[in-house]
Structure 1
Amino acid sequence: MLAKVFPIPLKDGMQAKAEEIVREFAPKGPGAEEGTLSFRVYRDPAKPDYLLFVEHFADQAAYDAHTGSPAYRDLIAGRFADLIAEFVEIDHELIVAL
């Protein structure tokens, strides 16, 4: 399993717009992808203009399919990318799960 974490600072005032795009993307992208095991996006109520993505994929091929999908290109690499202040991608390896 491949785990990805993306702490995403947004441009000032872009929280609502970013959340709208993520809600639109979820069923079209990860919700329709066989190799996407989980796709979760969190907001921090104490930190405006910030989202935390936590995603799990079956393997690297599943992640590559995810980032190569038309929905990803249009909504995440396209519209969402214009709203972020900085892109951070962190890979994680699972140690334990319950």
Structure 2
Amino acid sequence: MLIKVFPIELKPGNQAAAEAIVQEFAPKGPAQEPGLRSFRVYRDPARPDYLLFVEHFADQAAYDAHTGSAAYKELIAGQFADLIVEFVEIDHELLVSL
């Protein structure tokens, strides 16, 4: 399993717009991808203009399919990318799951 974690700093004042894009993206992209095991996006109530993505994929091929999808290109690489200051892509390996 491949786990991706993305802490994302948004441009000031873009929390609501970013959340709306993520809400639109989830059913069009991740919900349609057989290799995606979990797609979760968190907000921090104490930190405006910030989101944390945590995504679980079956393997690298599933991640590549995810980032190559039309929904990803339009909504995440397109509209969402315009709202961010920076993000970091962190790969993780699963150690324990209950």
Q: Which TM-score band (shorter chain)?
A: over 0.9
- In structure 2, the residue matched to 1:34 is 34
User: What do the CA deviations read for 1:36-75 (whole angstroms, capped 9, x no partner)?
Assistant: 0000000000000000000000000000000000000000
The one-letter code matched in structure 2 to 1:63 is: Y
SS in 1 for 2:86: coil
- Whole-Å Cα distance in 2 between the matches of residues 2 and 9 of structure 1? 23
- In structure 1, the residue matched to 2:69 is 69
**Over the residues paired in the alignment, what is the CA RMSD in angstroms?**
0.4
The one-letter code matched in structure 1 to 2:5 is: V
The one-letter code matched in structure 1 to 2:33 is: E
Taking only the aligned residue pairs, the percentage that are identical comes to 80
Say whether residues 1:86 and 2:64 are aligned partners: no
Q: How many residues align?
A: 98
How does the TM-score come out when normalised to structure 1? 0.99
The residue correspondences of 1:11-30 to structure 2 (distance < 5 A) are: 11-30=11-30
5+ residue gaps, structure 1, are none
The one-letter code matched in structure 2 to 1:60 is: Q
Q: Segments of 4+ in structure 1 off by > 4 A?
A: none
Relative to total residues, which structure has the larger strand share, 1 or 2? 2
